[in-house]
Amino acid sequence: MNRDPAATPHSRALRDLAVLFLKLGTTAFGGPAAHVAMMEDEVVQRRQWLSRARFLDLLGATNVIPGPNSTEMAIHVGYLRAGWSGLVVAGICFILPAALLVGGIAAAYVRFGTLPQVAGALYGVKPVVIAIVAQALWRLAGTAIKSTELALVGAIAIVLAALGINELLVLAAAGLAVAAGHLVRSRPSKAATLLSLTTWNPAGLLPNAAVTAAAATPFGLWPLFWFFAKVGAVLFGSGYVLLAFLRADLVEHWHWLTEAQLLDAVAVGQVTPGPVFTTATFVGYILGGPLGGLIATVGIFLPAFFFVAASGPLVPRLRRSRTAGAVLDGINVGALALMAVVTWQLGRAAIVDLSTAAVAVVSMALLARFRLNSAWLVLAGAATGMLVTAR
């Protein structure tokens, strides 16, 4: 009998998760929408670990809990693939490459006072990212939009998101609208009650961007950990929302960072692969060296593991309930609407001339025709960008 642990199905699953998410953590540029698109390509299209419908349900779940959405998707996939140990392995392996890279950049920043130049690589990577996200949106929409009603809700959600309506309000309205439609058809007496909930403002339950402090606070590793744990536990939204949290406490109230240092930290989180929340790694390093970087990273990501552990087992139960399933359907199309608006906004910044337009078109054609691995496309885009900008 083979007693080699490496030969057991569970250990193979853990190894596969580690390899996949280390790769994604190294090559997934472009923010959460791009990360989700690359995960969909890997775990649904290529490996068939999940159905597209299950993937959409997890995407909807990550959008209604605080924390970094793409990291939470990785943690969900790990849990479904290999249980609690898979949850830990997938999350850590997705975070680790970006944290190490950002830590290295922070070390150079502390020593030299400037950021390395990566504009050439990003020039080519950004249009590739747009192509990857557009391809994933097309596939996911085919699964999510199961009726004319869902198509209409999705279209309205796109309009609301484009107008700048709070992301949580868009998701809540989409979920409640679809659930109300289900109840009108099945139990009209409850539909009016549910419709009245569409005026609920979940943003009103969120804490302010930061807890105000009366004066400058002495720096310490424990306050650093608890600050980033608080941010990871309550933060919804994009990297720009993260910027508001960091600025309010670290710059204005505690005076731990200057404005210039904060902007550099956010820039590093945006331009490196993997989770945008590794901005915390940069901040922690410049405040407290390698230990500070580690403590800040653990603090901001730790809540995501708890939220997924608590919410993950509930998703299948919600799907079994027709009313809860209708809410989830609405949240799913709302999440895709948010992704579509973000893709449009990013596309306007990424596709700026004929060269970037050509990179985007060729990338989409290659994805559609040959199903190339998105990681290779990202690397090819970086090489192309450096060649074009070097001329």
Nearest to 301 by CA among 269, 276, 319: 276
pLDDT in tens, 28-45: 877 787 888 889 999 999
- Classify residue 362: in a domain, yes or no: no
- Classify residue 371: in a domain, yes or no: no
Q: What is the mean pLDDT of residues 254-281?
A: 83
Residue with tokens 């970094």: 68
- Classify residue 78: in a domain, yes or no: yes
d(Cα 298, Cα 284) in Å, to the nearest integer? 10
Percent of the chain with pLDDT over 70: 84
Lowest mean pLDDT, pick from 20-24, 136-140, 171-175, 183-187: 183-187
The four Cα atoms 229, 332, 71, 304 give a dihedral, to 10 degrees, of 30
Nearest to 28 by CA among 19, 39, 17, 18: 39
| Count of structural domains within the chain | 1
Q: Highest mean pLDDT: which of 82-86, 134-138, 370-374?
A: 82-86
- Classify residue 327: in a domain, yes or no: yes
- Classify residue 181: in a domain, yes or no: yes
Q: Which amino acid is at 223?
A: P
Q: What is the mean pLDDT of residues 258-273?
A: 78
Interacting residues of 231 by C-beta distance below 8 A, sequence separation 6+: 242, 245, 246, 280, 299, 300
- Enclosing domain of residue 310: 1-118+146-349
Considering only CA atoms, give the Rg of the chain: 21
- Using the predicted structure, report yes or no on whether residue 116 has a pLDDT greater than 70: no
d(Cα 39, Cα 37) in Å, to the nearest integer? 5
Give pTM, 2 decimals: 0.71
Percent of the chain with pLDDT over 90: 30
- Classify residue 311: in a domain, yes or no: yes
Token pair in block for residue 326:
């209708």
pLDDT in tens, 217-245: 678 899 999 999 988 887 765 555 576 67
380 or 391, which is more confident: 380
- Classify residue 127: in a domain, yes or no: no
- Using the predicted structure, report yes or no on whether residue 164 has a pLDDT greater than 90: no
| Sign of the alpha-carbon torsion through 238, 239, 244, 250 | positive
Other C-beta atoms lying within 10 Å of the C-beta of residue 354: 8
Mean pLDDT rounded to a whole number for the chain? 81
Q: What is the mean pLDDT of residues 37-55?
A: 92
d(Cα 372, Cα 103) in Å, to the nearest integer? 31
Q: What is the mean pLDDT of residues 173-181?
A: 85
Interacting residues of 159 by C-beta distance below 8 A, sequence separation 6+: none
- pLDDT value, residue 225: 96
pLDDT in tens, 299-345: 999 999 999 998 888 888 777 777 777 877 888 788 788 878 877 87
Nearest to 232 by CA among 36, 29, 75, 77: 75
- Classify residue 81: in a domain, yes or no: yes
Q: Which amino acid is at 202?
A: P
Q: What is the mean pLDDT of residues 67-86?
A: 93
Spatial contact of 271 and 101, defined as CB atoms under 8 Å apart: no
Interacting residues of 105 by C-beta distance below 8 A, sequence separation 6+: 115, 116, 268, 272, 282
48-63: b (≥16 Cβ within 10 Å) or e? ebbebebbbbbbbbbb
